Amino acid sequence: MMSSMAIQSVSVCSPEHGLANQLGITINPLDISCIPASIRRRSSLPTRLAISAAMTACEQAGIKASETPSLFASVGGEMLITDQLCLELTKPVVHISPTQFHNSVHNTAAAYWSIITGCQQASTAMAAGDHTIAMVIIEAWSWLVTNGGKLLLVCYEESWPDYIDPGNGYHSIGYAMVLSAESDDKTIAHCSCPYVSDQPLQITSGLKKLIMCDPLLALTHLFQAIAKPGDVKVAPLSLDSRYWAVDVQVASSHISAR
């Protein structure tokens, strides 16, 4: 039985300046150079964020993207495109863009990823509202327990207009991790299966406010834990009174390499 998932690499990207300081993690700028021009022209921001973060994570882990199963998660997916399509349907004369229509599905980023990398391995796209991060990590755990090997996990979001979800403020960001059922010399940390905790939340008020408005940012806790070697850390994945969490410990080999 697998006792923990091995985290082989992590990557975060965003076009939003200042978000790194707010979240307290390293964030790379969005890099679209890895996306072929033919796809770049018709791809959306969330798809670009997902692919940019995923490419960096695969490179850091030293794995072949074309041979690695993947798991994509987003609260809203292609929310802006879906919104534009709905607005178009309210007009007296409707003109639906074929490109926008096929880009409106929730697995758009996963589909473009398979086209760009030539990957024919299994790929899943998920959404679970405020619990998206916890559910996708449970799915990753289940996949690795069942199939072994390595898995690419990608979580991404884009900013939404306020009228779609008043009071909330979603950020344009992409997170990616390469996970493995077994540890090796690439392992930087270990992560438990998500569990429900009723212990007091250890979280700054600023980050709590951000996550309340954008649940995908809960993954920041896990990335913060990886950046701080030491004892096992509890990384909350939601903000309920009984919240989802994982235990994270940085690998000793990764500490020595610093």
- Report the alpha-carbon distance of residue 249 to residue 187 in Å, rounded: 11
pTM of the model: 0.93
**CA 143 to centroid of chain Cα atoms:** 16
59-90, pLDDT tens digit by residue?
999 999 999 999 999 999 999 999 999 999 99
Number of domains comprising the chain: 1
Which has more confidence, 125 or 168?
125
Instruction: Please report the DSSP string for 18-36 in residue order.
Output: THHHHHTS--BPP--TTS-
Residue 253 has pLDDT above 70, yes or no: no
Average pLDDT over residues 182-199: 94
Structure tokens at 251: 């690998």
Cβ neighbours, 10 Å, residue 161: 11
130 phi, psi to nearest 5 deg: -65, -20
Average pLDDT over residues 175-179: 98
**CA count, 13 A, side-chain hemisphere, 31:** 13
84-128, pLDDT tens digit by residue?
999 999 999 999 888 888 889 999 999 999 999 999 999 999 999
Which domain covers residue 197, as residue numbers? Answer: 5-257
CA distances from 51 to 5, 104, 121, 148 (A): 23, 17, 16, 24
22 in Cβ contact with 169 (< 8 Å): no
Structure tokens at 167: 């009071």
pLDDT of residue 119: 95
Q: What is the mean pLDDT of the chain?
A: 92
Residue 219: give its domain's CATH number: 3.40.47.10
Terminal C-alpha separation, the chain:
31
124-159, pLDDT tens digit by residue?
999 999 999 999 999 999 999 999 999 999 999 999
Secondary structure of residue 258 in the 3-state scheme = coil
- Report the alpha-carbon distance of residue 114 to residue 139 in Å, rounded: 20
123 phi, psi to nearest 5 deg: -140, 135
Secondary structure of residue 220 in the 3-state scheme = helix
